[in-house]
A and B are shown apart, each in its own frame.
Chain A
């Protein structure tokens, strides 16, 4: 398949996705009824959905807000790519941190610290619906671990060799997971990003990420995973762009 032909299919797929998500969001807004005092009622029942009431509010009550925030992150990364990304795509002009040589202390402690930070980031992602933490925080910790590796090793000699393709894949996978979760919500209840599986509505079929508590957070853990991947990919790709930027950019 030629590049132009593949590009046409890609544009068609993008158009179809755009139409589907626009239609679902418009249908939801059309059906939305604002009930006075719903915020007060929601604040009362939020701890019955998941132990972490903040996570419940962020992903359940204000899921649209979080969706917008994740898309803002993507926009920010695109901006970084436009401003600093030239060096990443033109081999001759690449001016990455070539002369980075780790000191003795960095050589000994860098890998352990980065690995432990990554595991802690994953723990934050999987505990986001239970305790303070979540996708944003966990993804940021993962990306911070990657930042440390770039500062210490540079790009080429980095043992943590997350390239453009991998990070963009993570970002796309996370954003797509979030959007598809919303479609599951509209299929079950007619509302985009409806929290399917929260046990107050007795539809607990999303119990893969079950935890030791009488509550059932429904889709919140999966949304946390999606946001975590998306934030890790976004911040990671921004770090790579900045590291590979030309000196006078």
Chain B
């Protein structure tokens, strides 16, 4: 059960706002970056209490880090404009 949904939503929204001014990048960069973000969030771990939980098992990844990354990416894709 995730009991910090508000933080996930707020980090996505703030990431979206910040990402909205990043120019659209090639798709391969987003894919590679998402994998890198997963690795980083694994090493960030449960700092600070934002560990994802599925049922009784705990996924040692930082939820807010991933949602803020997704927010940045979506903001860049939807509002970022074309690359130079």
Contact = CB atoms under 8 A, between A and B. Distances in A.
A122 B29 contact: no
A126 interface: yes
Contacts of A112: 29, 32-33, 36
B5 to A, nearest CB: 8
Interface residues on A, range: 35 or more
A130 B10 CA distance: 16
B15 A213 contact: no
Given A115-B72, A119-B69, A120-B65, A161 B7 contact: no
Interface residues on B, range: 20 to 34
Contacts of B6: 207-210
Nearest to A209: B6
Contacts of B18: 118, 122, 142, 232
A111 B21 contact: no
A89 interface: no
A225 B6 CA distance: 13
Contacts of B7: 126, 209-211, 221
Contacts of B62: 123
A122 B64 contact: yes
